Amino acid sequence: MSKKELELRPGTGPTADDQPVVQVVRVPRMTATWRAIHWFQALAVVVCFITGLYIANPYYSPNPTRIDAATYFMAWNRAIHFYGALVLDVSMFLIAYLYVFSTKHRDITDLRPSPENLTEFKEALLNFVTFNRRKRLDTSKRDPFLAVLFLIFHLIMLTQLLTGFQLYVASYSANISAVGSWWPWLLHFVTDWTLTVFGGNVGVRETHLVTAWIIIAWAVFHIYYEIWRSIMWKEGDIVISFGGYKYVKRSGTKHV
Amino acid sequence: MEYDRRSLFARALGHTKELRTTEDEALALQRACEARLREVEAMEPLSGLELAPLLTEHKLSRRAFIAWTSAMTAALMLPPLLRPQVAKAATLLNRIPVIWIEGQDCAGNSEAFIRSSGPTVEELLFQTISLEFHETLMAAAGIQAEQRKQQAAQMYKGSYILVIEGGIPLGENGGYCTIGASGQTFVDEVRELSGGAALVLAAGACAFYGGIPASNPNPTDAVGVSSVVSGKPLINIPACPMNPVNFVGTLIHYVLTGSAPALDSLGRPIWAFGNLIHNNCERRAHFDAGEYVQHWGDAGAQNNFCLYKMGCKGPFTYNNCSIVRYNEGTNWPIGVGHGCIGCSQPQFWDTLAYERPMTNASIHAPGLAGWGVESSVDEFGLGLLAVVGVGIVAHAIASAAAGHRARQTEPPAAEVGAASTEDHQDTGGEE
Ligand code: HEM
Ligand code: SF4
Ligand code: SF4
């Protein structure tokens, strides 16, 4: 989107002929990259959750009187869980990169505790808890409140990723892997601390399970919040994740 | 930490990345072991018992012994080339003085050796070991026994292997467990005897992390050896009971190399505890196929289906009983139709020993352990979702009400539009 689109009045200065108008402008909010990440992650989280629950406690089985291993339900669930996890892992790397190096919008800029950011954070929070009665923020921008919500999500995801990798490396026999011993070594190196922090492999598994529920709870809240914003602010927040833009009413003047 | 599966090689030859041993490496290892065996052979046989006559006496054929040494060589993850050295090491076990003490235990680890149907090679080896002190097995009692212990500790200072069986209570200054006529606390005995030991072996689950005595609420404040002994090479050989193969194997490894085998992060020999039960379980194909025993005695149980839904903790448990089994390889828990209860893992009694999958267990949510929040993970999860759901509904209703009121009183959007259009330009664009 070009700068021009944002401009309400491409003319020169105001003149006597100018008339007040309300116009809807498109504000770019999510790049194609972020939208792709968003939907890949949403899909992968749902897939991981469904298959993860099966791994935790298999809730369907072939007929026990028919001995036939052709179904391989658990093997498929585990494989699909790991593919989903792979998508999440890769997307998390991308996100980590974009947090810091994105040329357009860096989350770390929103997360800096500068006075303006703190005020905006407070105002967005107050807006939500006063049920939109107090609204002293520019709703067209990506506000620090949203940035913090996503930071929380990314930290939860990181926990899931690290505990998941620890569970994964635990399933290697004597740390032999098809791609070489460096891979289990690397996984151990990066995730063994989770054993200490969460209390052994049992604690890591419990954490992975509990975190799975926390992720789903976060997602439910996230969906609600986006719908709430769309309804209360009337700026089409919900379509940001599809088209990348939100639609903001601007009052300006029009040269007639 | 050492992650090489061939524990012995990692020690003797340094870390190698290749998983398969080359012939040169095997030969070099063989030479190193032979040198060490010559040293041990020069030492005085202490127990006065030799393995060869014992084998003949108990009608264990040479063939049976060779079969045993082959199995042990494989269990220790050594190349087959080293079988003669393993056999030799077995005959030299009588050179190693062993002091075996027991605290909060059931003597199950000692029993595991001596209660087999016929004398096994392990049991005979256990006889040839120079067992200088073992309360349950020795004839002496009371003050005599204690003197024997003191003597042995003096005589073999710095060279004996100290085997500790049982948990160590720390509560009441260790007063929950006192040993012998003098009433010495077990924790003091452990400290004293480990001081003069060349190597400390923690035998069984209780010596590992406190085991059953340490299970919730752990009234005696029991701990494992690693919480008491420091500054000594310590090898944990957990399980309930410890598998005699793993004990004898560790001793043979010591005789062969003069050092402890490579250990995992919990101090267990990798050669014995490097694999999940689950990965070598005979029911694993049923696990992958989604074929589970759903109730005791159902069609699945009759067909030896996987015991995961009956609470098998094989996927969490590192041990080799799925390979070496118990009682001379006769069978093992999963083989007879009960799931693994994770007896070789820390705190297994509280965290693993129940007959349902972990997600259905009433366990503490992580981090909340002390607060008494106890629910199964799924209940916790559904509860969390319910809380979020209720919050959302309440918030939505309140928002609707607030919007309604706002429409009735003031003109809407009075405060919107405070920001200038320029602000938006930093938010967009492609990457
Ligand atoms: C981020 C990358 C992830 C990795 C590497 C990962 C990996 C794993 C692994 C290795 C297991 C154990 C499987 C087994 O032992 O056979 C597992 C289980 C599970 N995962 Fe994930 N996972 C990830 C993400 C997720 C996500 C996003 C969710 C759900 C939102 C999830 C939910 C679960 C559940 C519920 C289980 C079963 C827990 C249990 O063992 O009882 N995982 N995961
Ligand atoms: S019975 Fe236990 S160890 Fe064996 S495959 Fe099933 S879950 Fe794994
Ligand atoms: S199957 Fe599990 S509980 Fe049973 S002896 Fe082996 S490690 Fe212990």
Domain membership of residue B109 (yes or no) is: yes
**Rounded to an integer, what distance in angstroms lies between the CA atom of residue A129 and that of residue B431?**
34
pLDDT tens by residue, A65-87: 665 656 789 999 999 999 999 99
Query: Which residues 6+ apart lie within 8 Å of A78 measured at CB?
Result: A51, A55
Output the pTM of the full model: 0.84
Residues B243 and B110 in one domain: yes
Query: Are A69 and B286 a contacting pair at CB < 8 A?
Result: yes
A154 CB near ligand 1 (under 6 Å): no
Residue B300 inside a domain? The answer is yes
Cα–Cα distance for residue pair A89/A110, rounded to 1 Å: 24
Q: Is the CB of A191 inside a 6 Å radius of any atom of ligand 1?
A: no
What's the B361 CA to ligand 1 centre distance in angstroms? 18
Number of domains observed in the structure of chain B: 3
Q: Are residues B33 and B118 in the same domain?
A: yes
Q: What angle do CA B33, B38, B42 make, to 5 degrees?
A: 145
What are the tens digits of pLDDT across the range A6-64?
444 444 455 556 677 788 888 888 888 899 999 999 999 999 999 999 999 999 887 76
Is there a single domain that holds both residue B62 and residue B197? yes
Tell me the residue range of the domain where B352 lies: 277-359
A102 within 8 A of B431, measured Cβ to Cβ: yes
- The candidate with the shortest Cα–Cα distance to A75, out of A95, A92, A51, A103, is A51
Task: Quote the mean pLDDT of chain B.
Answer: 84
Per domain, the residue ranges of chain A are 100-244
Query: Is B161 contained in some domain?
Result: yes
One domain for residues B219 and B312: no
In a domain, B33, yes or no: yes
- pLDDT interval class at B117 (50, 70, 90): low
CATH number for the domain spanning B238: value is 3.40.50.700
Q: How many CB pairs under 8 A join A and B?
A: 221
Looking at the fold, whether B70 and B146 belong to one and the same domain comes out as yes
Query: Both B341 and B376 in a single domain?
Result: no
> Does residue B176 contact residue B187 with C-beta atoms inside 8 Å?
no
Is residue B418 included in any domain, yes or no?
A: no
What's chain A's average pLDDT? 85
Give the pLDDT score at B246: 93
Q: Which of B276, B393, B421, B422 to mutate to test the interface with A (most CBs of A within 10 A)?
A: B421
Looking at chain B, the whole-number percentage of residues with pLDDT higher than 90 is 51
Rg (CA), chain B: 29
Ligand nearest to the CA of B287: 2
Question: What is the domain-level CATH number for residue B300?
Answer: 4.10.480.10
Q: Which atom of ligand 1 is closest in space to residue A57's alpha carbon?
A: 41
Q: Please tell me whether the interface predicted TM-score (ipTM) of this complex is above 0.90.
A: no
Claim to verify: residue B143 and residue B75 sit in the same structural domain: yes
Q: List, for residues A223-241, the tens digit of each pLDDT value.
A: 999 999 999 888 888 889 8
Check if the beta carbon of residue B103 is closer than 8 Å to that of residue B165. yes
Domain end call among B326, B359, B392: B359
Same domain, B139 and B75: yes
Distance B280 CA to ligand 2 centre (A): 9
Q: How far apart, in Å, are the Cα atoms of B194 and each of B99, B156, B239?
A: 10, 12, 22
User: Do residues B246 and B340 share a domain?
Assistant: no
